[in-house]
Structure 1
Amino acid sequence: MTSPKTEIYFATRKAASAHVYIIKGTGRVRINNVPAEMIVHESAREAILAPLDIAGDARKKVDISVRVKGGGFMGQAGASATGISRALIGWTKSRREPRNHPLTKTAREDLRKRIGDFDKYLISGDARRKEPKKFGGPGARRRKQKSYR
């Protein structure tokens, strides 16, 4: 008997980074090897489980394990939620019809649409992240120059 294929997805939020492992299973969700139901902060728990609440019935057909580090607890919750939604979206995509996928093709398309309609930032990332420095622009230690008029 072969072991089911594990897929890995990555997400960040502020200073937190999350690696999400998704596999065909029974509906277990673990964050840093702790069941999601045992997370102390209720607001963080709700943020993490939001994509799974949207998934509905598909939640019971996958096991999700999240490894998250860095940042505060809400940054970690945001990174975990983004990673879980990306994992669910990626897990439902396929170039051809897989034989042993637990969801039908129409159910996978419906799940992708529901997550995309709920929050576009869960899939693509946070639009508020910092814009990279432009080439030729002022540096971090720009000094004020006196005007010689």
Structure 2
Amino acid sequence: MTVTSTGKRKTAKARATVEEGEGTLRINSRPLHVQQKAIKERVKEPLIIAGEEIYGDLNIQVTSEGGGIQGQAEAIRMAIARGLVEYTDSDDLERDFRDYDRNMMVEDPRRTETRKPSQSSKGARHKQQKSYR
């Protein structure tokens, strides 16, 4: 059985495929131990919560794109957690993920505010500086 799940954080997107195998985890076709430290730490969280007995015999392939390193790490973490829950069909596992961090199962709706017209390009609410003297 193969399960595909997605995760999003800001502009980063991740897609995870969970299937039976020998217990490998690959992110963008590279094993976990080759990834940056920020990604490693965040991605291990759902695996630690799930436990070796659940993910030990599963192959997890993740592709991520967009956003920055931290946003991609969060998106990957969400995709893996959702994939494990869907693969095992376990309410207890989903409850454990939600208790640890709700953002493992639920997307964060916050997005960048759009820039307003007739203002500088520094941000959504940045105004031109003016002198009163």
TM over 0.5: yes
Q: Give the share of equivalent positions with the same residue, in percent.
A: 31
Distance (whole Å) between structure 1 residues aligned to residue 117 and residue 106 of structure 2: 33
| Aligned-partner residue type, residue 43 of structure 2 | I
| Aligned-partner residue type, residue 60 of structure 1 | G
Aligned pair count reads 118
Distance (whole Å) between structure 1 residues aligned to residue 84 and residue 71 of structure 2: 20
Measure how far apart 1:65 and its partner are: 0.4
| Aligned-partner residue type, residue 47 of structure 2 | L
Query: What is the match of residue 41 of structure 2?
Result: 46
Measure how far apart 1:110 and its partner are: 3.2
Structure 1: runs of 5 or more not aligned: 94-107, 134-138, 144-149
Distance (whole Å) between structure 2 residues aligned to residue 64 and residue 79 of structure 1: 14
1:113 aligns with 2:95: yes
- Which contiguous aligned blocks of 4+ residues in structure 1 show a shift greater than 2 angstroms? 108-113, 130-133, 139-143
Query: What is the match of residue 17 of structure 2?
Result: 21
1:82 aligns with 2:64: no
The verdict on how the C-alpha distance between 1:126 and 1:142 changes in structure 2, with shifts beyond 3 A counting, is: same
**Contact 2:81-2:105 within 8 A present in 1 as well:** yes
Query: What is the match of residue 106 of structure 2?
Result: 124
Query: What is the match of residue 117 of structure 2?
Result: 141
- Give the TM-score of the pair, scaled to structure 2: 0.77
Distance (whole Å) between structure 1 residues aligned to residue 3 and residue 113 of structure 2: 30
